[in-house]
Amino acid sequence: MKNFKNSFSSISLMIFCLLVMPITHAKPPPSAAECDDNLGVSVAVMDFGTYVGGTSGSIIMDVNGAMVHSGLVPVGGTTGTPAIITLTPVGKNCDKRFVTFTMPSSISIANLSGSPATTITITNLTNNLLTNPFKIKDLTGGQIRMGGTLTATSGDAQSGYSGNYTVTVVY
C-alpha cells in the first residue's frame, strides 16, 4: 500500500507543477505595415537554350530546369533555366506572412530579328508552390520556380526570342 500512495503523491505533484507553469503563445506574424515595404524581389529569366533551326517540336521544362525534347535538337550543351523569382523579406518574422502568387497560363515570345516575324507561345506554365497562399519560410531558398512547354515549327525564324509576362506577388 505504501508504494501505491507514494506513486500517487508523485503524480499529483507533477500535475501541479505543469498547471502552474506560465503559458506562452506563439507571436502572430508581423502586420502589413511592418513588412510591406520590406520585400526584396529578384528575377532570373526562363531560358530554353539554343536549338537547331528548321525543325518542329517541343521542349518541356520542369521547375528545376530538367528538359524533355521532342523533335527539337539542342545545340551543344544547352541546358534550361526555369524562371526563378526569389523573395527576400527584410523585417523580423516577415517570412511568416502569407503571400499569394499569380502567373499567366501562357507566355508569347517574339523573335528578335523580326524577319520573318514569328511568335512562339510557352504553354502549360507550372510552378513549385505546394500551396497558394504560402509563407516565404516554406519555400526552398525563398524561390518560386516556373517551367513550361515551348512548341516551335520548322518555319519559325532562327534567331533569339524574347517576351515579357507579368507575375503578381501579394505580400
> Residue 75 in 3-state DSSP?
coil
pLDDT class of 55 with cuts at 50, 70, 90: confident
* Domain ranges (residues) in the chain: 27-166
Average pLDDT over residues 73-96: 86
143 pLDDT above the threshold of 90: yes
Rounded-to-integer distance, Cα 63 and Cα 146, Å: 5
Give the tens place of pLDDT for each residue, 1-45: 333 333 333 333 333 333 444 444 556 666 666 776 678 889 999
Runs of H (alpha helix) within the chain: 2-20, 32-35
Q: Residue 52 has which C-alpha cell?
A: 537547331
Go through 96-133 and write b for each residue having 16 or more CB atoms within 10 A of its CB, e for each that does not. Answer: bbebebebeeebebbbeeeeeebebebeebbbbbeeee
Give me the pLDDT at residue 16, please.
39
Helices (H) and strands (E) in the chain, counts: 2, 11
